[in-house]
Structure 1
């Protein structure tokens, strides 16, 4: 379990959060659509959680339930190093457990070294690497995926991590 931060309030996403979600996701991903594992998800239609700091939204997590696991489709925090992402992940894991799921999955890209570090600290392990997947998604599913990402690293590969609950 992850410790709660007293200043952050986490609650399920609601209809009135959608304008903020649209703006936040579009700003960082070019649209509200997220591609993961070869599928496109509209983040405005997914369940999830939003984090607030003094009544201001500072983070969100959207997920999709599959037959065998809960998949984190997007995790985005405007503040870093304050536990926002950790608390959102804690709530998602709790939801998965409460719904009988025993596995969590999340996907990131080869350039996102911060995400790789973050998820591994939360005891997620790399379960798949899809070489060239992002390059293919850019051609066939979502052309607005950036060519270069964090630290100027070309975005090419998809890395899947999972955790047994």
Structure 2
């Protein structure tokens, strides 16, 4: 397993791995323009993380792993936290949907706290990206965004890798 910063060549492969846009808090993010990291086994992508640094905060825009339970997501988050600290960010934040119970558990176990619940914004996001499903994991209707944050304070951070 090798972790690489996303470069021009990897951007083409990421489109096939993940898709090209993500919507969070009403903002459309084009994944092929964002910085991030990819996990490769051989020449095959098995995980990616993309992020956006703005106004003293670092948003994790996407995090995907094809091999769950291997520590890939945790390693990728750790790399983004290091990058956010180097960029003098005050916090790292992200959005997940209300149906993604596994992600909700995953982020809390890694020190992220629920900051806000943005009700019915996914319903609005479907106007931009109609491929967002109406029903998600475990038959839960997909309607709300849950915002998580990780405050970049040394007292709160312990690497889980």
TM-score normalised according to structure 1 size: 0.88
By how many angstroms is 1:84 displaced?
0.5
Are 2:146 and 1:159 aligned?
yes
Corresponding position of 2:93: 105
Return the match for 1:46 from 34, 37, 48: 34
Q: Deviations over 1:95-130 (max 9, x none)?
A: 111111121001000000010001001100000101
Corresponding position of 1:4: none
Q: What residue ranges of structure 1 are gaps of 5+ in the alignment?
A: 1-7, 27-31
Q: Deviations over 1:54-81 (max 9, x none)?
A: 4432100011111021000000111100
Q: How many residues align?
A: 152
RMSD between superposed Cα atoms in Å = 1.1
Corresponding position of 1:76: 64
Corresponding position of 2:110: 122
Corresponding position of 2:131: 144
Structure 1 outlier segments of 4+, above 6 Å: none
TM-score normalised according to structure 2 size: 0.90
Return the match for 2:18 from 7, 11, 25: 25
Q: Deviations over 1:14-71 (max 9, x none)?
A: 1111222101112xxxxx1100011001101100000123443210001111102100
Q: What residue ranges of structure 2 are gaps of 5+ in the alignment?
A: 153-161
